[in-house]
Amino acid sequence: MSRLRLGVLISGRGTNLQALIDACADPGFPAEIVLVLANVPGAAGLDAASRAGIATATVDHKAFSGREPFDAALTEALEAAGVELVCLAGFMRLLTPGFVGHWRDRLINIHPSLLPAYPGLDTHARALADGVRFAGCTVHFVRTECDVGPIILQAAVPVAADDTPETLAARVLESEHRIYPEAVRLIATGQAKVTGERVAVAGAALPAATVNPPLGG
């Protein structure tokens, strides 16, 4: 079986990276990580990749005169490794339109909200301030605008009355670790395809409706 070749970009500890590493450790999973690339020297996620026998590289953004040459160096490293799909996993750099365009429909991100709600930072505090009953996370193809692009997969997480941004973030993170590998699987098997600015997922069943608080509760 030919496996989709992944490159994962990180800036820190890489918990979503670890979820992808764990999924790819299954020989039956239709993708493999061929490169983990960090923009921060010594990023903790590099150690996780090395322990799993995955090639790593560091492209320090501080060594470049601007975003364009930095992004060009990223692309050079990714293409040298034969990467077919780029996964952002806590990569804390804004990418240039040139990079996003070069990797169009081959570049995905995970964001800790139910996009298009709460793009950007402080998602959990903003959701709690608005009194939402559900938060969640989204895996999407990347476009030039921040946290915009065709949605592949989402997970909804109930919000508790006593939640803090920290407790809600921890609950959402558990779902992130579940859906990021699943989104990669859907792409690798060809079940998820981009049509315009939407993603069609072949064979996906509609889940049951969920209510929070429960009816009659």
Please tell me the predicted confidence (pLDDT) of residue 4. 98
Question: Would you please indicate which residues are annotated as catalytic (active-site) residues?
Answer: 111
pTM, whole model, 2 decimals?
Answer: 0.95
**CATH number, domain 1-103:** 3.40.50.170
pLDDT band at 196 (very low <50, low <70, confident <90, very high): confident
Tokens 């799909």: give the residue: 85
For residues 197-215, average pLDDT:
93
pLDDT band at 13 (very low <50, low <70, confident <90, very high): confident
Dihedral sign for Cα atoms in the order 19, 25, 30, 36: positive
Q: Which long-range contacts (CB under 8 A, 24 or more apart) does 118-124 make?
A: 119/146, 119/147, 119/148, 120/146, 120/147, 122/165, 124/165, 124/166, 124/168, 124/169, 124/172
Q: Where in the chain is the domain with CATH 3.40.50.170?
A: 1-103, 109-202
Superfamily of chain region 109-202: Formyl transferase, N-terminal domain (3.40.50.170)
Tens-digit pLDDT profile for residues 124-174: 999 999 999 999 999 999 999 999 999 999 999 999 999 999 999 999 999
pLDDT band at 217 (very low <50, low <70, confident <90, very high): low
